[in-house]
Amino acid sequence: MRMRLARCTSADLKAWTGLSGAQFLTLIRRLWDRRPDKGIGHPWAPAYPDRVLLIVLAYRTNLTFAQLGSLFGISHAAAHRVVHDFAPHLAALLGPPPADKRELWVVDGTLIPVHDHTKTAKSKNYRRSVNVQIITRARDRRVVAVGTSWPGNRNDIVVYRNTLGRDPALTAHPRLSQDGAYRGAAGVRNPARGPDGKIIKDRTYRRFGKRRAVVEHTLARLKDHQILRQCRRKADAINHAVAGVAALHNLKLEVAA
């Protein structure tokens, strides 16, 4: 049986992709606005909606290209070309950060195991991983921005300063906070410390804990996509995957199921 969007029921689509029918149609329209079929060159074997379905499945299930090709009735090379073609455009759907400076943002890092040893290092999870910084809006857990990946043995503050910390649109936000791991980062609120340098665990500190829980829950939802648990692709594929998954996460928040 070949996988085709036309054959998927709403329940099948939700089970395979985590998206409702309305959300998936919105995704197709947004990708078409960025990357339409122009009718130039050799036509694609799968139809446009099926190619969108393929890349969402690739991120959600982390199947190999041979498995994806078998599922859609195409070669593994064709499945690879579909993912390679759509990945940067899906990542671009994350868009610029919101301009409302009254919103509370929370930043945190996460480790993602990646097979490409040129981008990774052994980290505290004992696996070769990358460190990716993610900023989340506390009100609704929308992903505001994701940083480029760094080797997993680097501290959060180092990765933040060299990725998201270099973006003036992010560092100028007046309500950006996180835990003590970002001590000294410009523009980031941290828990108060006493004369001995230790964090004062008062009411304000407990509020920081609740804010941290927001971004931790968001990271957990992002890692429902198995590609963020073991990325086998090389080069910038992990950066495209994180931003693409974040765009899918935001889509589910914006469009009612």
Q: Are 241 and 134 in contact (CB under 8 A)?
A: no
* Widest Cα–Cα separation across the chain: 69
Q: What's the pLDDT band for 186 if we cut at 50, 70, 90?
A: low
Q: What is the pTM of this model?
A: 0.88
- Mean pLDDT: which of 7-11, 56-60, 172-176, 184-188 is highest? 56-60
What confidence score (pLDDT) does residue 118 get?
84
At 140, the pLDDT band (50, 70, 90 cuts) reads: confident
Residue 136: in which H helix or E strand, if any?
strand 128-137
What's the confidence (pLDDT) of residue 30? 95
Average pLDDT for 92-99: 88
CA-to-CA distance for 43 and 183, rounded, in angstroms? 53
CB 103 within 8 A of CB 139: yes
75 burial level (CB within 10 Å; 0-12, 13-18, 19+): middle
Residues 4-13 as b/e (b if ≥16 CB within 10 A, e otherwise) read ebeebeeeeb
Q: What is the mean pLDDT of residues 205-220?
A: 77
- Compute, in degrees rounded to 10, the torsion defined by CA atoms 100, 106, 108, 114: -40
- What is the SS3 assignment for 51-83? HHHHHHHHHHHCCCHHHHHHHHCCCHHHHHHHH
**How far lies 178's CA from each of 110, 138, 151, 173, 232, in Å?**
14, 11, 21, 13, 30
Q: What is the pLDDT of residue 193?
A: 63
Q: Which residues contact 224 (CB under 8 A, 6 or more apart)?
A: 18, 60
Q: Which residues, at least 6 apart from 114, have a Cβ–Cβ distance to it below 8 Å?
A: 120, 128, 129, 130, 149, 231, 238
CA 39 to chain centre: 31
What is the per-residue pLDDT for 212? Answer: 74
Distance CA 3, CA 12 (A): 11
| Non-local CB neighbours of 105 within 8 Å, separated by 6+ positions | 135, 136, 137, 138, 144, 173, 175, 176, 177
Higher pLDDT among residues 145 and 185, named by residue = 145
**Token digits of residue 15:** 């089970």
